[in-house]
Structure 1
Amino acid sequence: MISTPLKLIIFDCDGTLVDSQHMIVGAMHETFKVAGLAPVDDLAVRRIVGLSLVEAIAVLLPDMPEQEHARLAEVYKKAFYRLRVEEAAGPDPLYPGTKAVLEQLNAEGYLLGVATGNSVRGLNRVLEEHSLRHLFVTLQTADSHPSKPHPSMIHTAVAEAGSSPQAAMMIGDTTFDMMMAKNAGAHGLGVDWGYHQSHELKSSGATEVVSSFLDIPAYVKSVLGAVA
C-alpha cells in the first residue's frame, strides 16, 4: 500500500507572519553607525530581509571583505538585542488574521512549518510572544542552513514532516522565498504585505500572490487539496 505524503505548509517569518521591519531597519542603522559607515537606505535594508544575516550584509556592502561581513553581523546582533531588551521594544506585531488562519489550517489537518533567515533564538521569541509554537511541526532557521534561496530549509522541513516537495507549499513575502520553493520543487505562494512587490514574487516563481491572510486557506486547498 502506497502512503500519501502529508500536506505541509511552510511559512516565512519576518514580513510574512510578523511585521518586524522597524526593528530590522533600526538595528541595521545602528550597525552602520557603530562601524563608521555612511547611513544605509531604509529601502535597501527592507530588500535584504529574508536572507541570512551575513549574506544580507554582504549584499548591502559587496565591496567589503568577507571577514568584515561576519564581524558586522555580530555588531548587528548586539544592536538588535539592545533595541529589544534595553529599550524594551514590544513584540513584533502579527499581520491581521495570522493567528486565526494558522489555527484554522492546523485544525483542518495541514502540517505547518517555518523556514526563516532569522536565528533560532529570534524565531523562538516570535513564537513564544504570540503563543504559536504548538502549531508548528518543523522549524528551520539560518543557524542550520545555507541562506535562501538554497532549498535546504524546505528539504529538511519536508523530511521532518513526512511530506514531499509536491505536497508542500512555501508561503513568503520575498523573491528569496519563491526561488527557494522553486529550487526545492515545492509550490510557492507570495504575500503582498511584506518586503517585495507582487510582480517580483511572480517572476521569481510564485504561482499566486494573495493580499490577505484570510485568502490563504482557500488557495492552499485549491492547490494541495483537502486533507483526507
Structure 2
Amino acid sequence: MTLKLAIWDMDGTIVDSREVIQTAMCRAFGMCDLPEPDYEATRKVVGLGLEEAVRTLAPDYHDVPGLTEAYRQAFVARRAEETFREPLYDGAMETLERLANDNWLIAMATGKSHRGIRAIFEMHPLEQYFDTIWCADDGPGKPHPFMVEQCMGVLGCEPHQSLIIGDAIHDITMGRNAGIHTMGVSWGFGETHELEAAGAHEVHHDYASLNTGLDRFAEEILGRHGTEPAA
C-alpha cells in the first residue's frame, strides 16, 4: 500500500479557537499590567510556542515566564466559564473520518501543549483519528521542522508522501523547512496573501476545496509509484 500522510495543525484549522485565544491573551496582559494586544497582533503569533508568542507580543517585558503563566491561567479560566465554546470548523470531523477510511496516516503538529490537546479531545471525539501527535512540549516549535520530521519518522513516511494542513504562516514555513507539500487554509488565523507569501503550495477556503486538494495529492502519489518527485 502506498503511504500518504496528512499532518494537521489544530488551532484555526480544525477547531475555531480565535475567541478563547484572544480573550485569554488580553486577560493575561491585563493581569501583568500590560496594554492588551489587539487581535491583529495575536493572530500572527498563534502556532508558535507559548513563551515565544508572548515574547513576540511584549518584547520589552521583564517577566516573560510570568506572562506565559498568566496566559495559561487565563486560558484555563476561560474554558471553565459557562459561555465557553470552541467549535469544530464545518467539515473537519467528516474530513478526518474520510481520510482514515481512505487509509491515510494522520498526524498532528501543533503549538498547543499536550494538556491543551487533551482538553480538545475531551470536547470533541477526535483522538481516534490521529496516529501520532507532536506538540510544543516535545521539542523545537514552529517553524522548525522538528515536529514534521518526527511525524514522518514515527509513521515511516518520506517527504514526498507527506503534506501539512495549517492556517498560519508558521505551519507553512515548518512544512517548507521539512521539504513537504503545504496546504494553507484561510478560515483561521492567517490570511490568504500571507499564506501565499510564506510559500504555501495551495490555499483552500473551505473543507470541500481542501478535500479536492487531498484527493489530488493522493492521486499524484499513486502516479509516482513510490518514486521521488522531480526537484
Q: CA deviation at 1:227?
A: 7.7
Q: Is the 8 A contact 1:110 1:227 kept in 2?
A: no
Letter in 2 for 1:62: P
Does residue 152 of the first structure (1) align with residue 152 of the second (2)? no
Q: Which residue of 2 aligns with 1:204?
A: 198
Q: Is the 8 A contact 1:169 1:187 kept in 2?
A: yes
Q: CA deviation at 1:45?
A: 1.0
Q: Is the 8 A contact 2:161 2:221 kept in 1?
A: no
The aligned runs of 1:35-50 (5 Å cut-off) are 35-50=32-47
CA distance in 1, matches of 2:199, 2:139: 21
The aligned runs of 1:19-168 (5 Å cut-off) are 19-65=16-62, 68-85=63-80, 87-168=81-162
Q: CA deviation at 1:124?
A: 1.8
Letter in 1 for 2:52: E
Q: Is the 8 A contact 2:195 2:203 kept in 1?
A: yes
TM-score, normalised with respect to structure 1 = 0.92
Q: Deviations over 1:171-210 (max 9, x none)?
A: 0001000000000011100001011111111111211101
TM-score, normalised with respect to structure 2 = 0.91
Letter in 2 for 1:102: L
Q: Is the 8 A contact 1:109 1:227 kept in 2?
A: no
Q: Percent identity?
A: 38
Q: CA deviation at 1:78?
A: 0.7
Match of residue 207, structure 2, among 190, 210, 213: 213
CA distance in 2, matches of 1:154, 1:137: 13
- Name the SS for the 1:188 alignment partner: strand
In structure 2, the CA distance between the partners of 1:123 and 1:173, relative to structure 1 (3 Å rule), is same
Number of residue pairs the alignment of both structures matches: 222
Letter in 1 for 2:40: L
CA distance in 2, matches of 1:199, 1:23: 25
Q: CA deviation at 1:152?
A: 0.3
Q: Is the 8 A contact 2:46 2:189 kept in 1?
A: yes
The aligned runs of 1:171-186 (5 Å cut-off) are 171-186=165-180
Match of residue 189, structure 1, among 183, 186, 190: 183
Q: Which residue of 2 aligns with 1:11?
A: 8
Let me know the Cα RMSD of the aligned residues.
1.6
Q: Is the 8 A contact 1:190 1:206 kept in 2?
A: yes
In structure 1, stretches of 5+ residues that fail to align are none
Letter in 2 for 1:97: G
Letter in 2 for 1:78: Q
